[in-house]
Amino acid sequence: MMMFPSIKAFLRKCWRFYHGDNGQTHKVKDLLNEDILIRTLFDSEHYNRELDVLDNNAIPTSDLKERGLSLDIKRLASELVVLQRVNVQKGKAQDKHGLDDLTRKDVYFSEAEHPNISTIIDDGDGQVLFVTKYAPVDGNDAHAMLTCIKNKEKRAYYVMARNKLKPVFSQCITPAQDYRFTNK
């Protein structure tokens, strides 16, 4: 019967309307200036819960120089994907240090607004210090990488960069069990 595709299309349109997208996709697959970026933190490795401070390990200087600091774009992030990655990272710590390892026991998420990162200035030359790039990886469309714009400097430069970045990621740290992945 020819009517079935019409009913199917109608039901699909109703589904989209019910979920608030009216047939349009609002999840642009790229980094937008107004995006919120998420950094996964582990208590005792990246974050000292008792003192409420980020450790230097939360933002490795090698990541800022070369590899890139891994972040998730909140608007695109899937709670399931992020928590699966957390479990893999916990498992790696246990494989390395034993089953009773507490290094990655408690998980936190830190948020930073992209404009607060993209406007950090290098006091030495007055130029923007960081670049954040949309960098999806297999199974994670929300992945982004943050590096310093300059990548051939001495270690002291990247320590300075980390010291400028730490306060931005320290402003909003939430335990994983209390974190909301939606922007609503």
Question: Residues 7-16: what's their mean pLDDT?
Answer: 58
Residue 90 in domain: yes
Mind listing the pLDDT tens digit for each residue in 31-79? 999 999 999 999 878 998 888 899 999 999 999 999 999 999 999 999 9
Does 18 score more than 60 pLDDT? no
Whether this prediction's pTM lies above 0.85 is answered by no
Does 25 score more than 50 pLDDT? no
Residue 145 in domain: yes
Residue 123 in domain: yes
pLDDT (0 to 100) of residue 9 = 59
pLDDT (0 to 100) of residue 97 = 74
Mind listing the pLDDT tens digit for each residue in 131-172? 999 999 989 999 999 999 999 999 999 999 999 999 999 999
Residue 4 in domain: no
More confident residue, 38 or 23: 38
Residue 15 in domain: no
Residue 150 in domain: yes
Say which residues have a Cβ less than 8 Å from residue 104's Cβ, sequence separation at least 6. Answer: 42, 43, 44, 45, 89, 90, 93
Three-state SS annotation for the chain: CCHHHHHHHHHHHHHHHHCCCCCCCCCCCCCCCCCEEEEEEEECCCEECCCCEECHHHCCHHHHHHHCEEEEECCCCCHHHHHHHHHHHHHHHHHHHCCCCCCCCCEEEEEEEHHHHHCCECCCCCCECEEEEECCECCECCEEEEEECCCCCCHHHHHHHHHHHHHHHHCCEEEHHHCCCCCC
C-alpha 156, offset from chain centre: 25
What's the number of domains the chain is made of? Answer: 1
CA angle at residue 159 from 95 to 146, to 5 degrees?
70
Residue 61 in domain: yes
Strand order in the sheet with 130-134: 130-134, 143-148, 69-73, 36-42, 107-113, 173-175
Residue 20 in domain: no
Q: Which domain holds residue 164?
A: 33-178
**Rounded-to-integer distance, Cα 150 and Cα 141, Å:** 26
